Structure 1
Amino acid sequence: MTAATPSRSTTEASALVIKPLSSFTGAECTGVDLANLKAGEWDRLREAYGTYSILVVRDQQLSKPDQIAFSERFGELELPIRADYLGKDYPALHVVSNLGKDGKPNPKAALDNPGNFFWHTDASYMQRPASSTLLYAIEIPPSGGDTLFANMHAAYDALSTEMKQRIDGLRAVHSWEQSRHNSGSRPASAEEIAAAPPVAHPLVRTHPKTGRKGLYLGNHTSHIEGMPIEEGRALLKQLLEHTTQAQFIYRHQWLTGDIVIWDNRSLMHKASDDFDMGGHVRRLHRTVVQGDVPR
């Protein structure tokens, strides 16, 4: 998939500290170098990831090959649907930024893809959606530009018994083409639609590792299979509003050198646009791990 150098391990004593970030999701990891893992550190990180769904690893200095090599520990990397998102030197590494073709920061209105500012779970429009996403902060505005995460398991658990019964067995149609429309982005090209045709996934997804149920929805959803379009979209909107209540959200305030790793099977996310996008740069390196077929 890539020509990245495998991440290295040493036998020196570990200084890795892992501590919870909130009562329901996320853990902060310090004292570790992901490009030079020490004995036992990967096992501890993997266990924490399974427990907390988000790992925030501080103070990293990762080259592109370093990030790719560490990302591949989670599984096979997937390539973006958009051809212009393919990394020029490493196709699987996508640079997320508000920089225009002239190299200057663009305001939100000038972006042809504002989809990052809408709640979504990565690549849910694919037959095998993304499992993990790794986002590494290269340049961050002085304030704002946070990433918000909504825990879809906690949101499902909080539903009424009546709603759980209503949505049991329903399947939502996820569509790259509809997602572009939902976010007001450039329309999907014929090539993109052919690469990512609409696909139906369970509205209530069971996590393949933990067996925990969670809602599976977001900006990439179009409608509910077998339900009148507008009725299905109203239900999706209701569930999205429920899932993105404050009690289900962790808000990450970026520091340069942070790499955040999250589980798309458990969480929705979106970037906040609460900074001067025309005056400050927000630039991160993104790698995505292919997952399995939702059940």
Structure 2
Amino acid sequence: MPSTANTPTRGSDSTLTIRPLTDFTAAECTGVDLAALRPGEWERLVEAYHRYSLLVVRDQDLAKAAQIEFSERFGDLELPIRKDYLGKDYPALHVVSNLGADGKPNPTSALDNPGNFFWHTDASYMRKPASTTLLYAIDIPPQGGDTLFANMHAAYDALPQATKDRIEDLRAIHSWEQSRHNSGSRAASKEEIAAAPPVAHPLVRTHPETGRKALYLGNHTSHIEGIPIEEGRALLAELLAHATQPQFVYRQQWRQGDIVVWDNRSLLHKATDDFDMGQFVRRLHRTVVQGDAPR
């Protein structure tokens, strides 16, 4: 099917242009205001979202309320497990930053949650994990502080058939508590464990809208159901190493005003700490949409 991504919407004065950034993931969207969409633009954005799994929408000027409103087009918003991540004015909008309580930038060593620097898919430890995440760049360091995204459809497609057959019916245990241990973060509290007890999801997930298969794993996984724990963890590590090879990875080099919209059912992601976090501020606004139970 030929792409019509760059064709202006008929019957409107839309200037939205959508341009693929790689052969496998990500498209750049320009000439659009997400706070005031014109006729036909939402439909084109959704089509591109399903086609590319990730949209980089440039040059936005979004108040928190506008980000909330646009995010809710994708579904109900999810609240963070960590109570200190709840937004003060909008609980569902989490401010992601390296700023400490004193308002100054924190170096990596001062962070109690380095989990963002490990490959993961958002909230996979929930019975109904996140479908869409939206991250809006407010303050960006002069260089570095990128986010990496790995396409799990492309990674699955590239597996040998024997491996696909081996993992087809396996289920991985996803655990908030184990995730904290995996990343060397502060231990999960009893309240957090109660809110997000371990849950089993298919290791090979079928996307509910596109029907494409993808690996579903990452830092939130603990082990594989029905397999000795160490054997299962070795398989998870092997699959993760395969899935995050450079040919499957897109690097988002942030610009102030970017909002990145991505599909957690299709992608893993992680932040990079390749800038002086004790000197420069990196601050983004994050909203997350609840999805459905993986199948």
Range class of TM-score, shorter chain: over 0.9
| Structure 2 counterpart of 1:153 | 153
Distance 1:264 1:168 in 2: 20
| Structure 2 counterpart of 1:260 | 260
Distance 2:205 2:39 in 1: 35
Distance 1:82 1:185 in 2: 13
Counterpart amino acid of residue 224 in structure 1? I
The answer to whether residue 138 in structure 2 is matched with residue 101 in structure 1 is no
| Structure 2 counterpart of 1:25 | 25
- Give SS of 1:78's match: coil
Alignment of 1:83-122 (within 5 A): 83-122=83-122
Alignment of 1:115-130 (within 5 A): 115-130=115-130
Distance 2:13 2:165 in 1: 51
Shift of residue 266 of structure 1?
0.2
Figure out how many residues of one structure are paired with residues of the other and give that number.
Answer: 285
Asked if structure 1 preserves the Cα contact closer than 8 Å seen for 2:68 and 2:93, the reply is: yes
Counterpart amino acid of residue 269 in structure 2? H
- Give SS of 1:72's match: helix
Counterpart amino acid of residue 239 in structure 2? L
Shift of residue 168 of structure 1?
1.3
- Give SS of 1:155's match: helix
Counterpart amino acid of residue 271 in structure 2? A
The answer to whether residue 219 in structure 2 is matched with residue 219 in structure 1 is yes
Shift of residue 166 of structure 1?
1.1
| Structure 2 counterpart of 1:170 | 170
| Structure 2 counterpart of 1:273 | 273
| Structure 2 counterpart of 1:184 | 184
Distance 1:117 1:110 in 2: 14
Asked if structure 1 preserves the Cα contact closer than 8 Å seen for 2:203 and 2:215, the reply is: yes
The answer to whether residue 70 in structure 2 is matched with residue 65 in structure 1 is no
| Structure 1 counterpart of 2:34 | 34
Shift of residue 176 of structure 1?
0.2
Counterpart amino acid of residue 29 in structure 1? C
Shift of residue 162 of structure 1?
1.1
TM-score where L is the length of structure 1: 0.96
Shift of residue 286 of structure 1?
0.1
1:249-295, CA deviations, whole angstroms, 9 ceiling, x for partnerless residues?
00000000000000000000000110001010000000000000000
| Structure 1 counterpart of 2:132 | 132
Shift of residue 12 of structure 1?
5.6
Question: Runs in 1 of length 4+ with deviation above 2 angstroms?
Answer: none
- Give SS of 1:234's match: helix
Distance 2:90 2:130 in 1: 19
Identity across matched positions, percent:
79
| Structure 1 counterpart of 2:193 | 193
Distance 1:77 1:99 in 2: 25
- Give SS of 1:127's match: coil
Counterpart amino acid of residue 153 in structure 2? H
Distance 1:43 1:201 in 2: 30
Counterpart amino acid of residue 18 in structure 2? I
Counterpart amino acid of residue 220 in structure 1? H
Shift of residue 165 of structure 1?
1.1
Distance 2:69 2:256 in 1: 20
User: Please, which runs of 5 or more residues in structure 1 have no aligned partner?
Assistant: 1-10
Counterpart amino acid of residue 178 in structure 1? Q
Distance 2:85 2:12 in 1: 38
Distance 1:15 1:168 in 2: 44
Shift of residue 40 of structure 1?
0.7
1:132-170, CA deviations, whole angstroms, 9 ceiling, x for partnerless residues?
000000000000000000000100000011111111100
Asked if structure 1 preserves the Cα contact closer than 8 Å seen for 2:12 and 2:40, the reply is: no
Shift of residue 241 of structure 1?
0.2
| Structure 1 counterpart of 2:8 | none
Distance 1:161 1:46 in 2: 32
User: Please, which runs of 5 or more residues in structure 2 have no aligned partner?
Assistant: 1-10
1:172-206, CA deviations, whole angstroms, 9 ceiling, x for partnerless residues?
00000000000000000000000000000000000
- Give SS of 2:179's match: helix
| Structure 1 counterpart of 2:5 | none
Distance 1:213 1:150 in 2: 14
| Structure 1 counterpart of 2:232 | 232
| Structure 1 counterpart of 2:241 | 241
Distance 1:209 1:42 in 2: 17
Distance 1:17 1:153 in 2: 25
